[in-house]
Amino acid sequence: MIMYKISPEVPGSIGSNSVIEYEGGKIKNIKFLEYEFEGWFGDELLTSSPCYIITEPLAEFLDKSQLTGFACDDNIKTTKSEIFEYYHPNVELPTFLRMLINGVVEIDEGKITRWSGHDFCLYRNVMLYVTERAFQSLKTSGKMLNFTYKEIELDLQGH
């Protein structure tokens, strides 16, 4: 079986008004996300490590597709940086939702050796991996998605 490592556009960053819990110097939980856009090419699945955000229409599409391993919440505020406002003064951003990924994969020697069985998964709480089913749903959604991807083999034998 093949899964895909997905690398979405990174058009912004975690804003200063985000409410973040840290543990051991690493982000443990983001209670509230401010996502500050510095640019945007129209993609509907975006990231700023370790967060993923998606447009409302894409969230609705994925929900209807009955894919697993994610939930969406509206505990997010999007803002535009001064740079964004300067270069794109007339661009209106759509409504974005946080995409909370709860599926998990583990990788050893370039192969997935543990998989929670979900369509959307994270490796080390940061990198997004999706099943063939989720990948095909994203590619045929009709939404603006220009992510890069890499195939990776699922090898659960002997691990």
Strands 120-123 and 148-153, how do they pair? unpaired
Q: Report how many domains make up the chain.
A: 1
For the record, the structure tokens of 79 come out as 């803002």
Asked whether residue 159 is assigned to any structural domain, the reply reads no
pLDDT digit string, tens, across residues 41-55: 999 999 998 999 999
Predicted confidence at residue 11, as pLDDT, reads: 96
Averaged pLDDT of the chain = 93
Parent domain of 119: 2-153
d(CA 30, CA 51): 9
3-state SS, residue 77: strand
Residue 158 lies in a domain: no
Structural contact between residues 81 and 106, judged by C-beta atoms closer than 8 angstroms: no
What's the rounded Cα separation, in Å, for the pair 29 and 85? 30
34 in a domain, yes or no?
Answer: yes
Section 76-96 average pLDDT: 96
